[in-house]
Amino acid sequence: MNWLAIETSGNAASIALQVGDRIESDVLGTGNAPASGEVLAGIAALLVRAGVTLDQLDGIAVGVGPGAFTGVRVACSVAQGLSLAKGIPVVPVVSLDAVAQSEPADAVLAVLDARMGEVYWARYRRDAGGLLQREAMGVCAPDALAVPDDVRWTVCGAGFTEYREQFSPALLAQLDTGDITAIASAAQLLTWRAAMQVEAVAPEALAPCYVRDKVALTTAERVAKALKA
């Protein structure tokens, strides 16, 4: 099985290629989302290095966010173009799911930096089949984040490290620490896809996962935030 993955929703954009059991990945850069041309050039180089052609791909796993507005649109548009041109199946992967799936706990809280002083979060429970299933997802200020108190939760994701001082004492008291350096990566998308065995979607149905309507602060809000700091 040959699978390509594209993850550009966060601060570190990456692509990965799985050939059999081997996964090889490249980081495309940090900071701003890469342009679609840069992603396509990276994919071409990765395929050449592995000796695989587009026609030999069995599918593409795509990080659909939540994350940077431009980044998730780049990943989706590149995957759609390749899928339509070559008939390659595409599988959307929520970035928080990819971060959470490596945690062995029965209750997991994944947290990523949403910028604008907020975090993306998702809660997961392990089911009878031993797989983490997402039960809720959202975006909020760190001090507004809460989890049910019926169990202890294992927190993962670099958003927890970024905003640790802003989470409430009540929340911190309910948490055990997992991989709090984790960010969504293309290699994680491939691991998640293999574990979940989800079906592909039609390329025209591939779309970013948005959990917030507002994508930028106003000038007045940026000034107020700077003065508060």
> 16 near 23, Cβ under 8 Å?
yes
Pairing outcome for strands 22-30 and 107-115: unpaired
pLDDT of residue 31: 67
* Whole-number Å distance between alpha carbons of 206 and 120: 21
Task: List per-residue pLDDT tens for the chain, 229 residues long.
Answer: 899 999 999 888 999 999 999 999 999 977 677 899 999 999 999 999 999 999 999 999 999 999 988 999 999 999 999 999 999 999 999 999 999 998 999 999 999 999 889 999 999 999 988 889 999 999 999 999 999 999 999 999 999 999 999 999 999 999 999 999 999 999 999 999 988 888 899 999 999 998 975 444 333 333 344 444 4
The alpha helices in the chain, defined as continuous H runs, are 36-50, 69-86, 95-100, 158-162, 169-173, 186-196, 219-228
> 142 near 170, Cβ under 8 Å?
no
> 68 near 9, Cβ under 8 Å?
yes
Number of H helices, E strands in the chain: 7, 10
Q: Which region, left, alpha or beta, applies to residue 50 given φ > 0 means left and ψ of -120 to 50 means alpha?
A: alpha
- For the chain, how many residues are written? 229
* Whole-number Å distance between alpha carbons of 187 and 176: 25
Q: Which of 77, 99, 67 lies closest to 191 in space, CA to CA?
A: 99
**Tokens standing for residue 189:** 């998308």
Instruction: Report the predicted TM-score, pTM, of the whole model to 2 decimal places.
Output: 0.87
**Tokens standing for residue 131:** 């797989």
Half-sphere exposure of 228 (CA within 13 A, CB side): 7
pLDDT of residue 215: 46
Q: Which helix (H) or strand (E) holds 17?
A: strand 12-19
The domains located in the chain, with CATH, are 2-95+184-205 (3.30.420.40), 103-177 (3.30.420.40)
pLDDT of residue 196: 87
pLDDT of residue 33: 78
